[in-house]
Amino acid sequence: MPYVNVRITRTGVTREQKARIIAEITQTLVNVLGKKPEHTHVVIDEIDTDNWGFAGELTSELIARTHPKK
């Protein structure tokens, strides 16, 4: 039973995009490892940008600095 956990920031990802992510990851496990789709679990965790950081700063601050609202 494969279990895949995908973590992304909460930045406007649509339901359709999430469905595609799940479908394509599942298909990759079928193609590469021969796993059965009905036994494959994919979980998407959406993390608020105030709870995600890299390069020493919050993602929300980086986004605000590099993509200022007009």
Task: Find out whether 2 and 41 touch, Cβ atoms under 8 Å.
Answer: yes
Active-site option among 1, 2, 29, 58: 2
Q: For residue 48, which of 39, 37, 61, 38 has the smallest C-alpha distance?
A: 61
Mark whether 68 is an active-site residue.
Answer: no
- 54 - beta bridge partners? 57
Active site residues: 2
